Amino acid sequence: MLNIVIFGAPGSGKGTQSDMIIKKYGLFHISTGDVLRAEMKNGTELGKIAEGYISKGQLVPDELIIDMLAKVLDSNEETKNGVIFDGFPRTIPQAEALKAMLKERGAEVSAVIGLEVEEEELIDRLIKRGQVSGRSDDNLETIKSRLDVYHNQTTPLKDYYINEKKYKAIHGMGTIESIFAAIEKEIDNL
Ligand code: B4P
């Protein structure tokens, strides 16, 4: 059973490549960003709290995200056949929680696909998306905070997963198809 983490900066193509991976490998897609945006849209208590963090480019607190993820895993039987985790974990405590949750199911993270993209390109992609997405976090000021948060709070995870021998670096520049071809190679080797 494959449990794949797709990892990278905001704008690195996590959502885009996850869509391609689920089509080919039939994994259950969990995007914490998408789940949070649905909560915001539905005006739930979690959505209202999350909105305050997301619009400032900050991470939503670990305990809320971990609880949210546990609920998604528990309420979807198909997750037992393999999952692509998109945008989770983003901190070391989230990675530890994921390890424990998967262990309870007799599973583990199979691989971490790290999309590596230059900063200028990230900003360019997110500004472009902002012209159509209507997302409160796709504007230059918030994009800069998201990148700072990524460097300070999320990049330590790269070393964490290198230590666990799970990290697979993918050059995330180029066409969507060429990047997917590199990801396929890594997944097929697992
Ligand atoms: P996310 O929804 O995960 O947003 P993101 O990091 O910006 O990634 P996204 O998936 O949207 O972008 P992608 O790289 O696919 O999170 C939003 C916010 O929610 C976070 O900032 C945080 O506040 C909160 N949150 C989510 N998860 C959390 C967690 N675990 N803990 C705490 N808080 C959490 O794509 C970007 C764009 O690039 C797209 O428009 C795409 O079309 C384009 N693109 C992709 N590949 C391309 C290519 N090869 N060439 C050109 N363009 C490309």
CATH number of domain containing 161: 3.40.50.300
Q: How far apart are the first and last CA of the chain?
A: 10
How confident is the model at residue 30, as a pLDDT? Answer: 98
- With a 6 Å cutoff on the Cβ, whether 179 touches ligand 1 is yes
* Residues whose CB falls within 8 Å of the CB of residue 182, separated by 6 or more in sequence, listed in order: 170, 171
Structural domain total, the chain: 1
**Which pLDDT score, from 0 to 100, does residue 147 have?**
98
41, part of any domain: yes
User: Residue 61 C-alpha to ligand 1 middle, in angstroms?
Assistant: 18
Assess whether the C-beta atom of 13 lies below 6 angstroms from ligand 1.
Answer: yes
Q: Is the CB of 54 under 6 A from ligand 1?
A: yes
Annotated binding site for ATP: 11-16, 129, 174
Ligand 1 centroid to residue 114 C-alpha, Å: 13
**Residues in the chain with pLDDT values less than 70:** none
Burial of 184 (0-12, 13-18, 19+ CB in 10 A): middle
Q: What is the rounded radius of gyration, in angstroms, for the C-alpha atoms of the chain?
A: 16
CA 115 to CA 13: how far, in whole Å? Answer: 7
- Quote the domain boundaries for residue 102: 2-182
pLDDT at 175: 98
Strands (DSSP E) along the chain, which ranges? Answer: 2-8, 28-31, 82-86, 111-116, 167-171
Give the per-residue pLDDT at 86. Answer: 98
Instruction: Compute the distance from residue 60 Cα to the ligand 1 centre, in Å.
Output: 14
Question: Is the CB of residue 130 below 6 angstroms from any atom belonging to ligand 1?
Answer: no
Q: What is the DSSP letter of 30?
A: E
In a domain, 189, yes or no: no
Please report the ipTM that was assigned to this predicted complex.
Answer: 0.91
Q: Is residue 86 part of a domain?
A: yes
pTM of the full structure: 0.96
